Amino acid sequence: MNKKFKLEEYIEIINNYIDKAVPECFFGEDIVHQAMKYSLSVGGKRIRPVLTLEFCRLCGGDINKALPFAVAAEMIHTYSLIHDDLPCMDDDDMRRGMPSCHIKFGEEYALLAGDALLTRAFGVLTESEASPEAVVKAVSLLSELSGVSGMIGGQVVDLKNEDKPCTIEVLETMDSLKTGALIKCASLLGVIVAGGNAQQYEAARCFSENLGHAFQIVDDILDVIGDEKELGKPIGSDRESGKSTYVSVLGLEKSQQYAKDITAKAIEALSIFGDDADFLKELAEKLINRKN
């Protein structure tokens, strides 16, 4: 059986690989390179790459082969945060308790840093020693679920519904794409690199879809009852901007219960892995009880 890892061990492995994945530039003091490094290093739970590595392990794969897949997903996630914070999008000055990329480096360089992370992600992915078939599948999946059929599509739904009251159905569609698609992608990448079977792929899909959904509900809850210091950003921004959230649609208590119910579904999906999935079960519980 493969070695079981602790969260801290996974994060250290991922951070070490990230340091090597953004190459030094040949133009002396390159501001875009600095912006890329800055955004990749500012906080972050590394949930997506951790999911890639753990599902690879659960399916009997080599996590060293999965590392490029994991870091590619994290680069996509980071680029999306840089662009989300821009004045033309959410216009957020703070990210994880630190100045947003465009505040620190300027809008033009933040935009380019996001673009550079997006393009570098696919280069990193192809550096894996996984089978050519697995790499092709990974490229296809990551491009689909980070594009208009996934993360970007969710952002479009978000923008189109700004300042509008949303139904729970619209919220679930938006969040399954904007937040959930990349979480699902990261999990499935781990199964792909390990050569997992259809049952394992389905378990990863079900777990990650429910986890991503619960993650966004908790985000909405924390925007109401969270602590600004722990969150690293002001609370109440959703309400002030007139944005519909699970709390505004369902109320606080129902949102909290909804997140618990969905997390239970996520954990149930891991039953095929038995006790070997304890790490992911604990991670799901940790995420629903998080403070930031």
Phi and psi at 202, nearest 5°, equal -65, -40
Q: How far apart are the first and last CA of the chain?
A: 34
Question: Inter-axis angle of helices 7-21 and 47-58, to 10 degrees?
Answer: 110
148, pLDDT greater than 50: yes
Residue type, 235: I
pLDDT at 45: 87
pLDDT at 255: 95
pLDDT at 234: 62
Confidence of residue 230 (pLDDT cuts 50, 70, 90): low
Confidence of residue 233 (pLDDT cuts 50, 70, 90): low
Distance CA 232, CA 234 (A): 7
Distance CA 253, CA 271 (A): 28
Distance CA 101, CA 81 (A): 9
Q: How buried is 66 (Cβ within 10 angstroms: 0-12 exposed, 13-18 middle, 19+ buried)?
A: buried
SS3 79: helix
83, pLDDT greater than 80: yes
* Residue range 7-288, CATH number: 1.10.600.10
pTM score? 0.93
Q: Which residues pair with 95 in a beta bridge?
A: 98
pLDDT tens digits, residue range 176-221?
Answer: 999 999 999 999 999 999 999 999 999 999 999 999 999 999 999 9
pLDDT at 183: 97
pLDDT tens digits, residue range 7-64?
Answer: 999 999 999 999 889 876 656 568 999 999 999 988 678 999 999 999 999 999 999 9
Question: Inter-axis angle of helices 47-58 and 63-85, to 10 degrees?
Answer: 160
